[in-house]
Every structure is written in C-alpha cells, then in structure tokens.
Amino acid sequence: MKITGLEAIILQTEVKKPVFDAMNTFDAGGYVVTKLFTDEGITGYATTHVGRVRSICDIVKVILEKEMLPLMVGEDPFFARKIRQKLWASADYHGVEGIAQFAIAALDTCVWDIVGKALGKPSCHVVGASRDRIPAYAMAGWYYDTEKEYVQKCVDAAEEGFRAVKLKVGKTSLEDDLHRIRIVQKELGSDIRIMIDANQAFDEMEALRRGKAYEELGVYWYEEPMIPQYKESQARLAAKLTIPLAIGENYYTRYQFYDAVRTGAGSIYQPDNRRAGGLTEWLEIGAITEAAGLKIASHGGGPANVNALCAIPNAIYLESGSLKQQDHGMLVTKMKMVNGEILLPEVPGMGTEVSEDFIKKHRVS
C-alpha cells in the first residue's frame, strides 16, 4: 500500500456561547480535517480543533499541503515511525514544536487510521490493547455567566453518567475558587470525583498557597497551576503538596514529557493529540511515564484519544465533554459510556472519520 495524496479542509462552526477558563476565551470554532489517500482506496482521517485563533487553520493547511504532502506520497502507511522521522526532519529548521507538530500529529493519526482500516481492527488492537474502555471525566465546570448555570452543567454531567467532573479555578480570588468547589461537592456528593484546572494562572508562590487550600477540600488533582516552561517550579510545588499535579497538555513531543518527568514536575501527564504528536508519540510518552511510576490522562476526548489511552497500561482518565454533543454529527463514529467509562470504538481504524454532510455544511476552504 502506498500513500497517494492528501486533502486539508478548513471548517468553521458557529460558537453560539463561548466558554471561559482563568486565562482564555474559546470562541473560534475552527477545524482542519485532514484526509490521507492511498492507492488501495483506504482514506485516513484526522481533525485538528482550533478553539482560539482562527488563522491557525490556514497555517496548518499550508504546512500539510505545501511542506508535508510531497514527503508523504509513495510512503507505506505501515511505516509510521519512518514517516514521523521524515516529517520531523522537514520541520527541524523552523522547529518541530509548535504549529508544525499540529500537522505532523494529524498525519500520524491518519496513518494509524489507515493501518487499522487495512487490518479490519481498531488501531488500539493493532498497536497492542491494554483494555477495552477508559474511565472518563466531564470538563463541565467552565466559567459561565451565572452560578446557577455553572452548577447545572456539573449536575447534568453527573446525571449523564460521568463519575468525575473537572472545574475551572484561578480566574479571581482563592475564596471564589473554594466556593466553586464546595457548591459542586455539595450538589454532587462524595460519589463524584472532583478535579480542578487553573490553566497556568499562577506563579509558584500563589500556586502553593492555593494548592494547600485545595488539598483540604479533597480535590483529586490540581491541573496546570503554572506555565509549562516552569518545570523546576512545578517540581518544587509537587514536593510541597500531597495533591497530585496534572500537567502536559501544552507539552510537545516525548522529549518535553521526558524533561518534565525527569524533573519531577507532576504525577499525572496529559498528552494533547495536536501537541504530543499522534498515536506514535502517545505510545512513547506512555512508556516514559509508566517507567517512572506515573499516570496518563488525556487532554481532550474523542475516539482517537480513546484508542491511545486503551493501548497505554498506566492511563487513568479520558477528558470528555457531554456525549450529547455527538448529535452535532461531526464524526461518523459515536462513543458510548457504560458505568462512567468510555468504550473503545469497535470500528476499524481510529474512529476519526468525519461526516461528509458535516464537511459540506461547514467548509470554508
């Protein structure tokens, strides 16, 4: 089998009600859908979501079509690591980290989608499955216009079947953070696990001050208290707190994860498909963290992340939004949750195929 070409498609969806964390507003609604074609008629799919800056979609499309397409044609998709090495070499001059990795990750996802489809198996089975389902938590506790809406979103997640819910903190005072945590704990009870996410809002001293307060409330993990470059600060913070630090969604490639693990910067590492680099890179990040006795959770949801997590023995959680959002019809494969766990999709490949009707409705380029 040989790769014959690719198509990068930009989609724009309407964001009727943006969501907020401590530092960001997510209102862009942009996607790049990558299709990778083969001479045997099998197409691999990947979707790159852009929540903040719409122009990133245009940059990813140019990198895919102008820089990486010529390197892909003629390659055998079963040689995933060879392809990754070739793509990395092409991006080395301007940097593998950053937006180039968004494109490389998309192509890696497409490659594994093709391989799974060619073998008639979920890609997780091809690389070696560890499980057929993964516990999921709902990223429900964004900053909303009213406290009532905030609480209701968390209640809705629990009623949908999630047994863990994540809340945003750090936008204003510590007192406000503690109030946000307590009111959800009161509404949901002790059976629902609570995680919190500061989205890099603090410096080391403030992260420690707030972390000690969060510990007293029994929060399960404390996510991204500082910017990802502060690995030594993270390590000092981790040594002074008993609450696990969850980090990694803004790390690029296994090398940055290795540096963080070696420094002792966290207990739970959270690869993001776009930045970490696709399934090939996920497997190696999983091995690095497992060897260090640490855990993996995803940043983001969807079938690609489920395939990755179900192949990693030390994975503990999938991040997810409400599965009711699947009704928007973007992906052909629908995920299912049983007893708070997302089942590995049974479809061959990564489960990343995008509905042609959705593409027609939202395509802008």
Tell the CATH topology of 3-120+357-362: Enolase-like; domain 1 (3.30.390)
The DSSP string of 341-358 is EEEPP-SSBTS-PBPHHH
10 Rama class: left (phi>0) / alpha (psi -120 to 50) / beta? beta
Give the model confidence (pLDDT) of 192-226 as tens digits: 999 999 999 999 999 999 999 999 999 999 999 99
Give the model confidence (pLDDT) of 109-132 as tens digits: 999 999 999 999 999 999 999 999
> Domain-by-domain residue ranges, the chain?
3-120+357-362, 126-343
pTM for the structure as a whole: 0.96
Instruction: Round the CA-based radius of gyration of the chain to a whole number and report it.
Output: 20
Give the model's pLDDT for residue 182: 98
What is the C-alpha separation between 236 and 270, in angstroms, rounded? Answer: 19
Is the predicted pLDDT of residue 18 greater than 90, yes or no? no
Q: Are strands 295-297 and 315-320 parallel, antiparallel or unpaired?
A: parallel
In sequence order, which residues have a C-beta less than 8 Å from that of residue 273 and are 6 or more positions away? 105, 109, 282, 300, 304, 305, 308
What is the C-alpha separation between 266 and 207, in angstroms, rounded? Answer: 13
Give the model confidence (pLDDT) of 74-83 as tens digits: 999 999 999 9
- 3 state SS of 36: strand
Q: Is 240 exposed, middle or buried (0-12, 13-18, 19+ CB in 10 A)?
A: exposed
Give the model's pLDDT for residue 327: 62
Give the model confidence (pLDDT) of 78-101 as tens digits: 999 999 999 999 998 889 999 999
Tell the CATH topology of 126-343: TIM Barrel (3.20.20)
Distance of CA 103 to the CA centre of its chain: 15
